[in-house]
Amino acid sequence: MKIYFYSVVLFVLILAACDTKSTTSQKPNASGHTKFSKRKLVDLSHVFSDETIYWVTAKEFRLDTVYAGQTDKGFYYSANNFSTAEHGGTHIDAPIHFAKNGQTVDEIPLEKLIGSAIKIDVSSKAFTNPDYLISVEDFTDWEENTGILIPDGSIVILQTGFSKYYPDKIKYLGTDDRGENAVKQLHFPGLSSEAAEWLVENRNIHAIGIDTPSIDYGQSEYFKSHVILLSNNIPAFENLTNLDKLPLNGFEIIALPMKIEGGSGAPLRIIAVLTD
């Protein structure tokens, strides 16, 4: 009888242990053993406020209070209206932004917005040259240093280090002037058209992001990198932050924009998911 009792107790303890493990994130390692992992979330989005940086010709963010306070019914109530351009702050450029037949924001497949990612860090070069153009060599150097090719379906994140200047318009944009005349005063790093072409022709990427106001550098006149990428339905994420908290590879991106029907762009909440 005692043996039966102890057997039942042992069986219950084993079930309890199995149930506990099933609630923990697990992944098998090379030997087939289960390895427990922890997830870390990194917010890559700037907050929207009256300090949010917009393109010098775009309508800036505005928040108007509708109501904030106690009601005559005895409960607290708060509501606001906001207005903004599509392209400003942390946002997405949909392919139609520079491609006549490109996808609009609401048409971009979720597979393009969620997935494994890599980071190209050119901050040491951009630090001494605000007009730095990210080159093909920056990508091939990354592949040589990591020992892997940029994987198919990757989301490519470009770190220039410029997010540290946000929201200082003079340091981040090159000017605090607004209007058409201010366009010629813009200075910040971006992706060279040669590198954009190389990515399209040699690597199968799903999306690309950068911690500057534009995937093209500030002094661009023809926005060739935009045209090349977006014409191939590769959306771009702009004005990212906290890229220094990301590894060079082995993380995932979740980039969910406001789903604007027919939109050429939209405010974006983007995060990185890191696992141990």
Counting DSSP H helices and E strands in the chain, the numbers are 7, 14
Q: Where are the alpha helices (DSSP H) in the chain?
A: 2-21, 110-113, 123-126, 136-146, 169-173, 193-202, 224-230
> How far is the C-alpha of 130 from the C-alpha of 243, rounded, in Å?
18
Over the stretch 216-270, which tens digit does the pLDDT of each residue have?
999 999 999 999 999 999 999 999 999 999 999 999 999 999 999 999 999 999 9
Give the integer Cα–Cα distance in Å for 267 and 47.
10
- The CATH architecture to which 41-59+86-275 belongs is 3-Layer(bba) Sandwich (3.50)
Spatial separation of the C-alpha atoms in residues 53 and 216, rounded to whole Å: 16
Phi/psi of residue 269, each to 5°? -105, 115
Structure tokens belonging to residue 200: 């399209």
Report d(CA 13, CA 19) in Å as an integer.
Answer: 10
Is the pLDDT reported for residue 35 higher than 70?
no
Whole-number Å distance between alpha carbons of 158 and 215: 9
- Domain range summary for the chain, segments of one domain joined by +: 2-37, 41-59+86-275
Contact yes or no for 97/230 (Cβ under 8 A)? yes
Q: What integer is the mean pLDDT of 55-67?
A: 97
With a pLDDT cut of 90, the percent of the chain lying above it is 86
Give the amino acid at 87: H
**Are the C-beta atoms of residues 126 and 217 closer than 8 Å to each other?**
no
What are 140-154's pLDDT values in tens digits?
999 999 999 999 999
